[in-house]
Amino acid sequence: MKFFNKILFFYYREYKLNISGFQDILTNIIFFFVSIFIFIFSVGPNKETISVIGVAIVWTLLLLSSTLSLKKFYQDDFENGNLLIIHLNGFSYGFIAILKTFSHFLFVQIPFLLSIPIACILLNIESDKLMYLLVSFGIGSLTLSCLGSISSSMNLMNQRNFLLGSVIVMIFSVPIIIFSVGIINMEENFNSLINILFGILLIVFAINPWASGLCLKLSLENN
Amino acid sequence: MKFLVNPSKFNKIADYVFKPLLILSIILFALGLLFSFYLSPDDYQQGSTVRIMYVHVPSAWLALLTYAIMTLYSIAGLAFRIPFGFIINTAVAPIGAVFTLICIISGSLWGKPMWGTWWVWDARLTSVAILFIIYLIIIFMNLSFENRIVREKVVAIFVLVGSINLPIVKFSVDWWNTLHQPATISKLSKPSIDPSMMIPLIIMTFAFIMVGLAIAILRIKIEIISRKSNLI
């Protein structure tokens, strides 16, 4: 019971932190919408063109804007020592990585999930495609959170070149982009594509605690 | 076989091997280029452009081989605490990047006359491009960390995570319908290539391996020396 209380307190703390810094998340979402505007301005306001490439635009910009918040993933907790305190309270590094991944999914990716319908109205995407988009982003965003955990824990001690973290996330998210845009454009083999997406999610989810836990341990030991 | 994991033994062997290796690589390159330019036949469809294969295929194999070696040494470094694995990782990554770049450039030079375009977004080409970017990320990671212990281990973890891409590169031609042709030589059944083209290809592959080994030996020796003198 004590263990579950600790987990609850961890999420309560994350909730407090994210509520107090809510303008950061809002800024991410505003970035998402502003980049949609810029995309539409550069393509031209032709309705048919936009509805053809709309899904691809939404997915690309979701990926880009969710990599923006990677810097905050572990960095704050690492610098003020909270990561070490959480570890001393009986959580292994791998388990911290899993908890943090879910917290990132809840507080950073879910707001994007809520803002997708508005983006669909702006981009003229039909409502039956919206369902597929939401399902694919629900799976894909958890994958992106896992990748974000791996890359940001790798770059904790990297003072010079933090953009590398975003590049790592983007290079490993290529299959997610391919299959989730494929889901929306090919409704007939929905099941097989969603199985592939789940498979990718499981692979990344299995790698995540191992890789990020080891990186966290290394950074904390050599800080 | 201790020279594969022990830096001082490696240094000793490398001193013996280096000059013969250079001479052998020069001979093999001369022989291979002679074979591939003059002594091998034109393809009945592709004409003379088939000779690009003698650079393209060995460099692609070596790009994959280099990454596989880095993966093995990362496992050795992380799991068995052999520091020589991290030395290999740092030293060999740029060589693999260059081989991948040669493969991409020669492939696109070959693609222009045969497919009619420099670049197609098919599975094999895309996965090789991703392999190249992974190599670049490894090089940049090696440059941007200040703490050496953290750097080498983080790079090793990244190499292991990135090794997911290796089977994708290898089997992409079988899993998807690609414009790139499937494997003709490195497959389970008999190679479907004529011996007159197989011989120059094998000679060129060994020449590439020798050159790669020679450069790798130089870079590993530099890495060992700089670690001994605590330069990084």
Tens of pLDDT, residue by residue over B108-142, are 999 888 888 888 888 889 899 999 999 999 999 98
Residue B144 with chain A: CB contacts under 8 Å: 158, 160-161, 164
pLDDT (mean) for A80-103: 90
Is residue A223 situated within a structural domain?
no
CB-CB under 8 Å, B126 with A218: no
pTM: 0.91
A110 belongs to a structural domain: yes
Please count the structural domains in chain A. 1
Look at residue B146 and give its three-state secondary structure.
Answer: coil
DSSP letters spanning A142-204: HHHHHHHHHHHHHTTT--S-THHHHHHHHHHTHHHHHHHHHHHH--TTHHHHHHHHHHHHHHH
- Residue A31 and residue A63 in contact, taking contact as beta carbons nearer than 8 Å: no
Q: Does B139 touch chain A (CB under 8 A)?
A: no
Number of other residues whose CB lies within 10 A of the CB of residue A3: 9
Euclidean distance between CA atoms A206 and B125, whole angstroms: 28
In the block, which residue shows the tokens 């000679």?
A: B203
The answer, yes or no, to whether residue B27 has pLDDT greater than 90, is yes
Residue B106 CB-half CA count within 13 A: 18
Segments making up each domain of chain B, as ranges: 8-184+204-228
Q: Which one has a higher pLDDT value, A71 or B60?
A: B60
User: Touching check for B154 and chain A: CB below 8 Å?
Assistant: yes
Give the tens place of pLDDT for each residue, B52-64.
888 999 999 999 9
Give the pLDDT score at B48: 81
For chain A positions 144-183, those within 8 Å of chain B (CB to CB) are 150, 154, 157-161, 164, 167-168, 171-172, 174
Tell me the ipTM for this assembly: 0.88
Instruction: Indicate if the pLDDT at residue A121 is higher than 90.
Output: no
Average pLDDT of the residues of chain A: 87
Residues in CB range of A63: below 8 A, 6 or more apart: A144, A169, A170, A173, A177
pLDDT of residue A179: 84
> What range does the domain containing A166 cover?
2-218
Q: Are B17 and B217 in contact (CB under 8 A)?
A: yes
- Cβ contacts of A157 on chain B, cutoff 8 Å: 145-147, 150-151, 154
Whether residue A138 lies inside any domain: the answer is yes
Cα distance between residue B155 and residue B89, in whole Å: 8
CB B159 within 8 A of CB B165: no
Q: Which of A89-98, A156-165, A207-216, B28-37 has the lowest mean pLDDT?
A: A156-165
Confidence label for B209 from pLDDT (cuts 50, 70 and 90): very high
User: Is residue A48 assigned to a domain?
Assistant: yes
Residues of B in contact with A214 (CB under 8 A): 78, 153, 157
- The long-range contacts involving B105-112, CB below 8 angstroms and separated by at least 24 positions, are B106/B52, B106/B55, B106/B56, B106/B59, B107/B56, B107/B60, B109/B52, B110/B49, B110/B52, B110/B53, B110/B56
Q: Which residue has the higher pLDDT, A139 or B182?
A: A139
With a pLDDT cut of 90, the percent of chain B lying above it is 42
Local confidence band at B68 (pLDDT 50, 70, 90 cut-offs):
very high
- B interface test, pick of A143, A153, A174, A196 with most B CB neighbours within 10 Å: A174
Is residue A184 scored above 80 in pLDDT? Answer: no
Do the chains contact at B140 and A161, CB–CB below 8 Å? yes
B interface mutation test: which of A170, A171, A179, A223 has the most B CBs within 10 A?
Answer: A171
* Contact across the interface for B133 and A167, Cβ inside 8 Å: yes
Which pLDDT belongs to residue B136?
94
d(CA B232, CA B228): 9
| Whole-number Å distance between alpha carbons of B84 and B76 | 9
- Taking CB atoms and an 8 Å cut-off, how many pairs form between chains A and B? 54
pLDDT tens profile A21-51: 888 888 888 999 999 999 888 888 888 888 7
